[in-house]
């Protein structure tokens, strides 16, 4: 009896590599847009902004595999009313205002060993134009254009546990405008002459209703902006496959 090894190994090993390659194809996620409720350090009133997030993640991985979330993009849409409030507090001026800001986001990933991770701090700026026909703040005729803070975060690595991974902003309840801010998104804006006044925003998925100071209703979970399917067990590599052919 002679035993031969290798031919089947090369064939099936090649198939394993092809299958593994197919499983790690990167899928570009559709952007998710959802409201955030915020507290800030300049006012007792809560405010609401829109958050848009998107990122790239593998379409499918195996349990225990690393998962890279890359090209993490975020746009924070700030309504003009927030800037009018800043103007009435003496933090902004009539005309165009370019406001430097930094932000960090806590990303939740279901069915991972990590559960949640905080992004790096990203920097950008937001622009708004304020008009005040009578030149006197807080008389009711002030207006401001909406603004958008666009950010790109560094890639993150996660560990797949099982099921489907849903990537979304973490809902932190309650939010706080302390130092540092507490929320799914923490923002620090530099206002005033030379940016000497730091205004902190703590925001989480949710809405604000009612008259000032407003009532916050949190959304948990938030909408997912990327997902990855997790299969059961890893495919064997070429060196893990051995087939015997018996010749009598």
Cα(162)–Cα(111) distance, integer angstroms? 6
Q: Answer yes or no: is 239 within a domain.
A: no
The contacts of residue 241 (CB under 8 Å, 6+ apart) are 8, 9, 12, 13, 16
Instruction: Provide the CATH number for the domain around residue 192.
Output: 2.60.40
Q: Is residue 242 part of a domain?
A: no
Q: Minimum mean pLDDT among 2-6, 126-130, 195-199: which range?
A: 2-6
CA 109 to chain centre: 10
Q: What is the pLDDT of residue 30?
A: 64
Burial class (CB in 10 A: 0-12, 13-18, 19+), 20: middle
> Which of 200, 176, 175, 162 shows the shortest CA–CA distance to 62?
162
The reply to whether 108 falls in a domain is: yes
pLDDT for the residue numbered 244 = 39
Question: Is residue 201 in a domain?
Answer: yes
End-to-end alpha carbon distance in the chain: 5
Q: Which two tokens stand for residue 144?
A: 């401001």
Strand partners, 246: 3
Return d(Cα 82, Cα 59) in angstroms, integer: 39
* 187 lies in some domain: yes
How much is the pLDDT for 193? 82
Contact 37, 51 (CB under 8 A): no
Question: pLDDT class for 55, splitting at 50, 70, 90?
Answer: very high
Residue with tokens 């207006």: 143
Per the structure block, which two tokens stand in for 245?
């052919």
Distance CA 139, CA 133 (A): 10
Which tens digits make up the pLDDT trace of 143-185?
Answer: 999 999 999 999 999 999 989 999 999 999 999 999 999 999 9
- Does some domain include residue 7? no
Range of the structural domain that residue 37 is part of: 27-234
Residue 22 lies in a domain: no
Ranked by mean pLDDT, the top range of 16-20, 24-28, 93-97, 239-243 is 93-97
Q: Give 195's pLDDT tier (boundaries 50, 70, 90).
A: confident
Looking at the chain, the whole-number percentage of residues with pLDDT higher than 70 is 81
Number of domains in the chain: 1
**Above 60 in pLDDT, residue 29?**
no
What's the distance, CA 197 to chain centroid? 26
Taking 80 as the threshold, does the pLDDT of residue 88 lie above it? yes
Rounded CA-CA distance 28/208 in Å is 31
Structure tokens at 158: 């996660």
Examine residue 17 and state whether it is found in any structural domain, yes or no: no
């Amino acid at each position: 009896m002679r035993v031969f090894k290798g031919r089947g190994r090369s064939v099936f090993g090649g198939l394993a590599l092809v299958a593994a390659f197919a499983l790690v194809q990167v899928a570009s996620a559709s952007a998710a847009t959802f409201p955030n409720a915020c507290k800030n350090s300049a006012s007792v009133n809560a405010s609401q902004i829109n958050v848009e997030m998107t990122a790239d993640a593998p379409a499918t991985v195996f349990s225990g595999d690393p998962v890279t979330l890359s090209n993490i993009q975020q746009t924070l849409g700030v309504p003009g009313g927030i800037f009018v409030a800043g103007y009435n507090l003496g933090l902004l001026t009539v005309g165009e205002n370019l406001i430097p800001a930094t932000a960090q986001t806590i990303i939740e990933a279901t069915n991972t060993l990590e559960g949640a991770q905080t992004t790096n701090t990203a920097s950008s700026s937001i622009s708004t134009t304020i008009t005040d026909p009578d030149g006197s703040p807080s008389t009711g005729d002030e207006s401001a254009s909406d603004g958008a803070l666009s950010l790109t975060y560094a890639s993150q690595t996660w560990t797949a546990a099982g099921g489907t991974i849903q990537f979304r902003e973490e809902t932190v309840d309650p939010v706080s405008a302390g130092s540092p801010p507490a929320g799914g998104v923490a923002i620090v804006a530099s206002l005033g002459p030379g940016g000497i006044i730091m205004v902190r925003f703590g925001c989480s998925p949710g809405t604000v209703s009612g008259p000032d100071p407003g009532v916050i209703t949190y959304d948990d979970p938030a909408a997912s902006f990327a997902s990855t399917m997790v299969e059961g067990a890893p495919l064997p590599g070429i060196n893990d496959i051995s087939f015997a052919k018996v010749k009598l």
